[in-house]
Chains A and B, each alone.
Chain A
Amino acid sequence: MRIPVETFQLDNGLFVSLSEDHTAPIVAVNLWYHVGSANERAGRTGFAHLFEHMLFQGSAHVGSNEHFELIQRAGGTLNGSTWLERTNYFETVPSNELALALWLEADRMGELLAAMTQEKLDTQRDVVKNERRWSVDNQPYGTMLEKMQELVFPSSHPFQHSLIGSMDDLSAASLDDVAQFFATYYTPDNAVLSIAGDFESAEARRLVNEYFGPIPKGKGKPPLPPMNLPPVFGKRLRDVVYDNVSLPRLFMAFRSPVFGTEGYYAASVTSALLGLRRGSRLHQALVRERQVAADASAFTFDLAKGTDLVVVDVTARPETSATQLEEEVEQEIDRLYRDGASEFEVQRAVALIETDLTASLQSAGERADRLSMFATYFERPQLINDQVDRYRAVTVGRVNEIISERFGANNRANLIYVPREGVESEDVLAAAVGTA
């Protein structure tokens, strides 16, 4: 199964991927800007994400919130999201509205600042502070990403600080910051555009040229500090969080090969054999057989720079203490490290991943997003068609090499959530899990 991919580049540096599919009258437009929380300067944590909100506040020819209104009025869906390495913006619209979606994206890429005001910034700052309260502060385990970043990255590393940002830093953000960030990062040569679905290539090229062509190239962005990290932590890392949660939960992270490399696919298969679905090793051992966990899963961060992370996520049963949970998971990982994985486990993992990859290509929006991802990280959107083969090429031998390299005791970072109001006092709990 291959999807068609065409590419071209405008003189101003905008890289464009096209993938036609005429099965339904739907088209997806997707932009990735190669900027994320990693690019934030000190004292401005959360700015990349706050900036994403500002992109919906209008531009030279578009009123505040009109972007949302015009797309929804056209019968489309839209949103944006911010990650450590990138920020994306996307619309899926009826195919006769392709021009509108492109024009809206071009207007904000070209002339955002014309519409920026202090009042809009103040409102969005409040909205984002409420987003932080809602998704981080008032949500059990909501601080996981932030705490994990702090634990696994060295203090000077661009991935170390909070993506949603601190309340103080959000308060400090100014209109000047908005103007500077826009000029530096929101330029056609720091973005890729993908269009997937029901359109004619010639017409799409014409529209892209007309709307994006006049936008001037950027002046370049400051380089990120060195991101490379050794393949393993080199020691045990551990953080215990006493929080307003009902059940202990352990997130155990391992440094793993960066996204897209040959080693990444083997690590991703390892993650899946550990924690993808009910037949996975951790689910079978900890949830089903030993009944110490209420849930067990694993995932990868898919970071393309520095290091990727495999994260095992296990929630305790009410009668399991945090200490016992940590021991049980450690033992399972030790067993994997000692004995390796079986042929069957690898086949099961690859079969599940293959179905998921195929299913994800059903939606135009997903296709466009993946084209943008491969274009941003590797300048090769065609890689979208290689993924199943790359997973199929992973052998049990290669998985076991990754396990020996990356799943030993010198490469584990344990982030443990402990219920604050447990049966024992905090001091006793602290002693029980070995920190104070």
Chain B
Amino acid sequence: MVASLRPHAGPPRSYRFPQFTDERLANGIRLLTAPVAKLPLVTVLVLVDAGSTNEPHGKEGIAALTAAALLEGTAEYDGAELAQEFERLGTALESGADWDSAFLKITVLTDKLHEATKLLGHAISGPIFPEREIERLRSERLAEILQLETEPRGLADEKFSEFLYADESRYSKPDEGGIESVSRLGRSDVEHFYRANYKSGATTVIVAGDISPEDSKALISGAFKEWPGGSVSRHQLLTDVRTDRKSTHIVNKPDAPQSELRVGHIGLPRKHKDFFPTLVMNAVLGGLFGSRINLNLREVHGYTYGASSFYDWRRGPGPFVVSTAVESEVTAPALNEILLEIDRIRGEEISAEELSLAKDYLEGVFPIRYETTSAIASALATLAIYDLELDYYDSYRANIHKVSATAVLEAARAHLHPEQLQTVIVGDAGIIRDSIMSLGPGEVAVHNG
């Protein structure tokens, strides 16, 4: 039969994150190029400091609408033709905006790169923002918002942010905007947001794949020659808590077969000195299949298909959240186990086995994360958006390696706050309310789903 002795690992082969150049083009654009010649493919990713945290008050959703509207045509091509121009080259221009930036992205075969990149520069330097298409994109966003009402996972995430942050915080509202603000957005808002934010000083272009830095520079300088100059100042971000007391919100969905559960509080900004110990701490708590929360809820109790915890890293302090979906009847016991695990990781040092599992995983999986041009471009985007050191990826594994069990305990004590936990449950209030009360969940509010 099969050999009973477990094999030992051979000597590891060294790995280095793809080397890249970092330069400033004559017109002010920052250009990062990572030459990777594995396959004849290139990803071009344009980042603009025009995310939703830069939206004027009352215009929530304008960042996403503007990013989408950039694909709707130029003086030369209307939106339909523009899509087809890219697609006949075998690529599709994608765009979007999250909290911290807007992006446009193509992945294309090398022999079509020049044509596609020229088209990209052309499209975003001279958008015409047709009224009809802006109206359509706005209606599509409203349809998406309507869909959330019957989508418990997305609804739970959204409600969690709403109940976590004070009303004045941009983070309390959906990153692509809610019904109230989106219904009032129009063409002039798009035009205005574009003129105010899409400038060379706020732009980073990332090129990853089968290309040299010299060719990349010539390509991007040419394609973005009409890109407007200037810089943009970032808005002050407010991230106050809605309440500093523990509380629980049940979004009532009578007859729901499961409860979608979110438990957490405001987390940390991405550029925090405790990033690495917190990352390792979270891996042990709920970041891995073999983490405490997943093993407890799934493998010991069979309450769920999966449970995890995670820090939503942003420029400002995004949420720390534990997420799971459990059968309605076991909502309270499942929530109780989560609370116990949060207490436990703050109570005493994790074991040497747990520490090595988390660290060995994070160190070992590192090269597997950067197999594609698109993943390499995203990694460089992280550098640019959060203004990380250029050697961030070269020192990543050493930084993970340095984290001790003591540092993990300190991170847990400093950055997990059981007394401030906010709980959101999307589920059948009739079944879950009474049993939840027995856990001392703070103030409990039931909302109509």
Residues of A with C-beta under 8 A to B149: 246
8 Å CB contact of A75 from B13, B152, B361: B361
A351 within 8 A of B: yes
Q: Contacts A215-B2, A279-B84, A361-B39 given; indicate if A134 touches B305 (C-beta within 8 A).
A: yes
B225 within 8 A of A: no
Q: Contacts A75-B363, A96-B12 given; indicate if A317 touches B139 (C-beta within 8 A).
A: yes
B75 within 8 A of A: no
B 4-45 binary contact with A (CB < 8 Å = 1; else 0): 101111111111000000000000000000000011110000
8 Å CB contact of B364 from A74, A102, A123: A74
Q: Contacts A25-B12, A76-B368, A246-B147 given; indicate if A123 touches B7 (C-beta within 8 A).
A: no
Task: Report yes or no: B88 in contact with A344, Cβ–Cβ below 8 A.
Answer: yes
- Nearest CB to that of B366 among chain A residues? A75
Bound Cα distance from A74 to B363, whole angstroms:
9
The 4 A-B pairs at the shortest CB distance, nearest first, are namely A75-B364, A126-B302, A99-B7, A351-B90
Task: Report yes or no: B2 in contact with A211, Cβ–Cβ below 8 A.
Answer: yes
Q: Which chain A residues numbered 29 to 73 have a C-beta less than 8 Å away from chain B? A: 60-61, 64-65, 68-70, 72-73
Bound Cα distance from A351 to B85, whole angstroms:
11
Q: Which chain B residues numbered 80 to 129 have a C-beta less than 8 Å away from chain A? A: 80, 83-84, 86-92, 107-109
Q: Which of B46-54, B287-295, B340-348, B379-387 contacts A (4 or more CB under 8 A)?
A: B287-295
Bound Cα distance from A359 to B374, whole angstroms:
9
Q: Contacts A72-B357, A96-B10 given; indicate if A245 touches B150 (C-beta within 8 A).
A: yes
Task: Report yes or no: B90 in contact with A318, Cβ–Cβ below 8 A.
Answer: no
Q: How many residues of B contact A (CB 8 A)?
A: 82
Q: Which chain A residues numbered 131 to 183 have a C-beta less than 8 Å away from chain B? A: 131, 133-135, 137-140
- Nearest CB to that of B299 among chain A residues? A65
Q: Which chain A residues numbered 97 to 111 have a C-beta less than 8 Å away from chain B? A: 97, 99-100, 102-103, 106-107, 109-111
Task: Report yes or no: B144 in contact with A138, Cβ–Cβ below 8 A.
Answer: no
A-B contact count (CB 8 A): 242
B 344-385 binary contact with A (CB < 8 Å = 1; else 0): 000000000000110011111111101111100000000000
Per DSSP, chain A at the interface is helix
Task: Report yes or no: B10 in contact with A73, Cβ–Cβ below 8 A.
Answer: no
Tell me the minimal C-beta distance from B54 to chain A in angstroms.
Answer: 26
Tell me the minimal C-beta distance from A420 to chain B in angstroms.
Answer: 9
Task: Report yes or no: B7 in contact with A92, Cβ–Cβ below 8 A.
Answer: no
8 Å CB contact of B152 from A138, A294, A352: A138
Task: Report yes or no: B258 in contact with A211, Cβ–Cβ below 8 A.
Answer: no
A435 within 8 A of B: no
- Nearest CB to that of B71 among chain A residues? A278
Most chain B CB within 10 A, of A110, A126, A419, is at A126
Task: Please classify how large the interface on chain A is, using the bins under 10, 10 to 19, 20 to 34, 35 or more.
Answer: 35 or more
**Extra 6 A-B pairs, beta carbons < 8 Å, given A72-B290, A94-B367, A214-B3:** A96-B12, A109-B2, A127-B299, A279-B86, A288-B80, A352-B92
Q: Which residues of B contact A (CB under 8 A)?
A: 1-4, 6-15, 38-41, 71, 79-80, 83-84, 86-92, 107-109, 133, 136, 139-140, 142-144, 146-153, 256-258, 260, 288-290, 295, 298-300, 302-305, 325-327, 356-357, 360-368, 370-374
Residues of B with C-beta under 8 A to A401: none
Task: Report yes or no: B136 in contact with A291, Cβ–Cβ below 8 A.
Answer: yes
Per DSSP, chain B at the interface is mixed
Tell me the minimal C-beta distance from A208 to chain B in angstroms.
Answer: 12
Q: Which residues of A contact B (CB under 8 A)?
A: 1, 23-26, 60-61, 64-65, 68-70, 72-77, 92-97, 99-100, 102-103, 106-107, 109-111, 122-131, 133-135, 137-140, 198, 207, 210-211, 214-215, 244-247, 277-279, 284, 287-289, 291, 294-295, 315, 317-318, 344, 347-348, 351-352, 354-355, 358-359, 361-364, 419
- Nearest CB to that of A137 among chain B residues? B257
Bound Cα distance from A287 to B71, whole angstroms:
14
Q: Contacts A96-B13, A278-B92, A355-B108 given; indicate if A75 touches B365 (C-beta within 8 A).
A: yes
Residues of B with C-beta under 8 A to A61: 2, 4, 6
